[in-house]
Structure 1
Amino acid sequence: MNRSTLSRKDFLKNATLGLAGLSFIPSAVSIPTGKTIGKNGAVANNYTLKNVRLETGFEYENGEVIATKTALFSIDIEDKKIKKIRPNQPSANAIDAAGLLMLPAFKDMHIHLDKTFYGEKWTAVRKRTGGVKSMIALEQQILPEMLKNSTGKAEKLIELLQSKGTFFARSHVNIEPSSKLNSLKNLQLALENKKDVFGAELVAFPQHGVFYTDSAPYLKEAAKTAIDFIGGLDPYTIDGAIEKTMDFTVQLALDNDKGIDIHLHESGESGLKTVEYLIDKVNENPRLKGKTYLSHCFVLGKLDKSKQEEIAEKLGAAGIGIVSTIPFGGLVMPIPTLLKHHVNVMTGNDSIVDHWNTFGTGSVLQKANLAAQLYGYTTEFGLSRMLKLATAGPLPLDEKGLQQWPKGGDDADMIFIDASCSAEAVSRISAIKSLIYKGNIVF
């Protein structure tokens, strides 16, 4: 049977591997191993997958990568881990992956799960003037109503992400006087409801400014909870003072052993000063290296080439990452320059459909495709490298074509995709056929 024409019925027979789109199993379904898939799609016990396509190396011609080699394997899943990768064995007791390509599951590293219109009737963005501060005023009006059903909408949004191959998200969550900690509590409930099939880390996000709306007391309260990062927003534009806001943010992170992830939209002198000030603060506090990020950081796209190189080198040395939504048009971020200087670059959808934006698809693979187009990563090798934007790092093959994923002991977080290799998956934004999270078959 051709793997690209497998029907819903065929894949149900194979433990739901290969269902097109997100379709949670409504009732218990027996699978070939005798185990059971419950309502949330979680496999209760350990199992083996057969006919799993993995990348094994590159094919070269005159020193150029012209194709990606693959082969079929059997994979043992045990205790949420990949236990063993073995030569393919046609066992009757194994779940058949039907020759689909297995890749690391995806991560959306910048999204707002706590405030969305997703799951409600279509609503376009309204005309607005006054920049971010006008949006703060709008949020103060609409957030009380949005909070009434934010848990259910967050769950629907998570399901959209899963359908696109995403198993994990970094979600910013509003912490400000309008929501107090209610937005956080509602999202935490949604994540608890999805804990067997989805993972997340949370950023306490002062969407209305740290001091502009006196969010500082609520941020201090949130910092004592199980959030992972202290967020920030345009300290000069919103709060009117770079040093005061940044010092507060950095100290709160240090005091509570959290990371930092700051929205920085400012593209002028204040944006550059904020970047440089954060670099200095992280260098003064080395334990923040590797756990500090700038989201958007549009100012990098406005600098001349030599300044981009200088700042990228400093960001890389300080261990400060950039989380970009891959903007295009009049603003093109210097992502190749950042990667050259070993800056950790990740991506996310940001808004899916809300009062800020309605163009989010939920697919970080689409973001990797966009980056490949923008920056000319059109070869087999270049396309394969862009997959790391979707996975937030892991790639099946290293730069020399040596297999580095999966290995025994890796977390069992993977997707099955209708593509012959990573390069094709990025170029064609290939269809996701199955998602596995911590060994649980989600669909």
Structure 2
Amino acid sequence: MTADSISRKNFIKNTSILLVAGTSTLTSMATAADAAEKPRSTNAGKSFTLKNVRLETGFEYEDDEVSRTKTELFTIEINDGKIKAILPNKPGADAIDAKGLLMLPAFRDMHIHLDKTHYGLPWKANPSKRKTVKDMIAYEQQIIPELLKTSVPRAEKLIELMQSYGTNYARSHVNIDPTSGLESLRHLERALENKKNSFQAELVVFPQHGIYYTKSEQLMKEAAKMDIDFIGGLDPYTIDGAIEKHMDFVVQLALDNDKGIDIHLHEAGESGMKTINYLIDKVNENPVLKGKTFISHGFALAQLDKAKTEEIAEKLANARVGVASTVPFGRTIMPIPTLYKYGVDVMAGNDCIIDWWSTFGSGSILQKTNLAAQLYGYRTEFDLSRSLRLATHNILPLDDKGKQIWPKVDDIADLVLVDASCSAEAVSRISPVKSLIHRGNIVF
């Protein structure tokens, strides 16, 4: 299992990522890693064993409150991309030594733009003169032709950055607009093909320049027939000037092509809420869209009083319309706890990574989870452990009663090894990810 292995150190070095120092967790891989020329994954002959793996096993209580998360060391056998056995630890076994690091589900970034980034290019801050979405559309029309020339390798570098933070899965929105045509999508598909053994993504075709504002209807129809998963939309009122016309197009395109829906909705106030309610009504009229429809951002939800927030959360839950949030702060704090209370499917994403919309994206979804914990006052052992679901899209090692529910035999081997004693500590301290395994492939 040494020929294609690579350490975290060389993974970062060879992708020009200067993040966290340190050598590979998987000690038996270290020698070969030094000779590796580029980051790549290995499935170790489709079978390997990890020893000294720390797993969460339950909660301890003091005064009826969770005071500590219990863990034990185990031996984990992986074969053909799945977890095939979870055994009592065998410290002397001929196996890869995980050195007592905590095993958690691999992380998922559920709102990002892999096709749009300055990552891999020289630093460039955002100028102050571009204030509105329409300003940004005009700017993109200028810069996209040049950026397309290097978009494949830069998308790959961005994927590698995310992997170094433990993310192996993403939902990526990709521009469909008259300036780039279908090239942004084709280039991203090429980058994902090059990373298919170590990363997976679902794609949203996204009319970043409006559907009617820049005449993108035909391009969207063509893109919908390609290998994509969701139909996107963008601020129907402020960009296209008509909520119903824009949303009817998105909904019908999804129905005609058996796709889901994930719309960008930055609009606040009356137009934002009208769009949310209109989408809920359309989903209820077309039940096939339930569980497949999402609102990205949804900033209008952050401006409601308590009663209206609870009312719309219940409506979203009943229609099974999810919310993908970038966990914004400042004056736009999303009501994520209320959405959870009513059972809304909440997902988190980095959104922009060092691009012309924002330079602050780090690539770490665990950092986003930490931010959420701070915003919503998740300070206890129990609350911090529950908040991990933002990083994993609802996969947790323990249920609310402390029963172990992950990992199980035959689970897909998508996991990270983290330098933390438990998931609560991992969230609170943004603990470093030492190794990522994607479908049984050791990424680093």
Q: Mean Cα displacement is larger for which, 371-380 or 126-135?
A: 126-135
For the residue of structure 1 that corresponds to 2:12, the secondary structure is coil
Q: Please say if 1:413 is aligned against 2:414.
A: yes
Q: Please say if 1:342 is aligned against 2:343.
A: yes
CA distance in 2, matches of 1:423, 1:24: 32
Instruction: Give 1:22 shift.
Output: 3.4
TM-score by length of 1: 0.93
Let me know the Cα RMSD of the aligned residues: 2.0
Gap runs ≥5 in structure 2: 16-25
2:12 aligns with 22
- Asked whether the equivalents of residues 164 and 433 of structure 2 are also in contact (C-alpha less than 8 Å), the reply is yes
1:105 aligns with 106
CA distance 1:394–1:116, change in 2 (3 Å): same
- Asked whether the equivalents of residues 66 and 382 of structure 2 are also in contact (C-alpha less than 8 Å), the reply is yes
For the residue of structure 1 that corresponds to 2:358, the secondary structure is coil
CA distance in 1, matches of 2:99, 2:360: 34
CA distance in 2, matches of 1:280, 1:344: 18
2:277 aligns with 276
Q: Please say if 1:255 is aligned against 2:256.
A: yes
Instruction: Give 1:172 shift.
Output: 0.4
2:308 aligns with 307
CA distance in 1, matches of 2:442, 2:92: 19
Q: Please say if 1:187 is aligned against 2:177.
A: no
CA distance in 2, matches of 1:316, 1:31: 46
- Asked whether the equivalents of residues 197 and 441 of structure 2 are also in contact (C-alpha less than 8 Å), the reply is yes
2:71 aligns with 70
Instruction: Give 1:128 shift.
Output: 2.2
Opposite residue 182 of structure 2, the aligned amino acid is L
2:42 aligns with 42
What are the equivalent positions in structure 2 for 1:22-421 lying under 5 Å apart?
Answer: 22=12, 40-43=40-43, 44-129=45-130, 131-421=132-422
CA distance in 2, matches of 1:21, 1:373: 31
1:7 aligns with none
- Asked whether the equivalents of residues 46 and 81 of structure 2 are also in contact (C-alpha less than 8 Å), the reply is no
For the residue of structure 2 that corresponds to 1:22, the secondary structure is helix
Q: Deviations over 1:24-48 (max 9, x none)?
A: 79xxxx9859xx9885121232111
Between Structure 1 and Structure 2, how many residues are aligned? 426
- Asked whether the equivalents of residues 28 and 97 of structure 2 are also in contact (C-alpha less than 8 Å), the reply is no
CA distance in 1, matches of 2:46, 2:322: 37
CA distance in 2, matches of 1:92, 1:275: 56
Gap runs ≥5 in structure 1: 1-11
CA distance in 2, matches of 1:22, 1:383: 29
Instruction: Give 1:330 shift.
Output: 1.1
Runs of 4+ residues over 2 Å off in structure 1: 15-25, 30-33, 36-39, 90-93
Opposite residue 12 of structure 2, the aligned amino acid is L
CA distance in 2, matches of 1:202, 1:130: 27
CA distance in 1, matches of 2:75, 2:61: 27
For the residue of structure 1 that corresponds to 2:428, the secondary structure is helix
CA distance in 2, matches of 1:399, 1:422: 13
2:21 aligns with none
CA distance in 2, matches of 1:91, 1:409: 25
- Asked whether the equivalents of residues 108 and 391 of structure 2 are also in contact (C-alpha less than 8 Å), the reply is yes
Instruction: Give 1:61 shift.
Output: 0.9
For the residue of structure 1 that corresponds to 2:309, the secondary structure is helix
Instruction: Give 1:93 shift.
Output: 2.2
CA distance 1:339–1:261, change in 2 (3 Å): same
CA distance in 2, matches of 1:365, 1:45: 28
Opposite residue 274 of structure 1, the aligned amino acid is T
For the residue of structure 1 that corresponds to 2:394, the secondary structure is coil
**Percentage of matched positions with identical amino acids:** 66
- Asked whether the equivalents of residues 20 and 433 of structure 1 are also in contact (C-alpha less than 8 Å), the reply is no
